[in-house]
Chain A
Amino acid sequence: MAWLLNLLQVILFVATAPLLAGWIKKLKCWSQNRMAPSVLQPYRDLFKLVRKETVVAEGASWIFHMAPYIIFSVAVLAAAIVPLVAVELPTARMADVIVLVGFFGLARFFQALAGLDIGTAFGGMGSSREMTVASLAEPAMLMAVFTLAVSMSTTNLSTAIATLLHEPLTIRPSFVFAGLGLALVAVAETGRIPVDNPATHLELTMIHEAMILEYSGHHLALIEWAAQIRMMIYAVLLANIFMPWGLADNFGLAALGWGAVAIVVKLVGLTVVLVLAEAVLAKMRLFRAQHFLGFAYLLALLGMLTHVILEAG
């Protein structure tokens, strides 16, 4: 029963990721007074890409062919770790949050390699930029995650969230800082403004788009879908770690229903904040990204320090 639910949750996670992307697009258009495409547009795009012919550049090695499959399957595995509707599911118990960060690292590694593989200038540039951003974002993310782990005395995401769910309402300054730090990391890692602009193909500014410029057809569809899943993972992480209320802790139908409603409400709230932030911010120069991520690291570090100073003892 638990395994069945687990499978359902992962399928739901992967299937609704494009919906989240479409919803963000819609909000973004509204915030700019534009006509919005339907929220189903990302599905149509993916379907279109799958049907199209896949063109592979001359001289591409097996890495280029394998990378989309690896990136997509790693994204699905990562989605299996994150509790979406219910906690204490089997796959979430198996792997802890450091594995999650490792999955992100693995996907990024292959994406950067694939960008370098073809040997075009843009691919290499994109890979180099992606790795620069990642090398700064990863410590910040780990530090934020460690704050959670130290507070809850476990690195397992599902157990930590279950503990949070069952305790009385507690205000933790360390969680405020760690949450803000993780939010900044999420913005950088999912390639949103102000670090990267997802809507442009301007060669001077793009990071993520530059790496996947050579991909087409179903390869591109897999990579785009994986990027949407990653966006969803970060959003769900932020929502469920720092606002765990409503998650189902048993497998009754009512609890699961409430869990689903709660996560939808939380994600809607989170995306509104994201879009508002994007509306008031301009994209930063690439060389300012290090300040942005350094600030994220500082926030996460402050979270850890405030935990040690204020909450322990």
Chain B
Amino acid sequence: MAPAEIREAIIEILEDIAPDEDLSTLEDPKAFRDQLELDSMDFLDIVMELRKRYRVQVPEEDYGHLNSMASTVEYLTPKMEDIAV
């Protein structure tokens, strides 16, 4: 998957986790927390959904990389580049 496709995958996950959020205005460099009503349970869900959908493991010490869309995509790119779309 290319970065743009990874971004799309994250958007799909967020749509499932937080269906009441408007994701069209999401600014990639800004922290999710400052734009969306996400708590620690929701962040766990992002990690769990990545595991479920793409078999990507995000160890707990790396959760900080999931701070914003930009940092998430950057962190996931090497982990997901071999995954077919």
* A and B together in one complex: no
Q: Which residues of A contact B (CB under 8 A)?
A: none
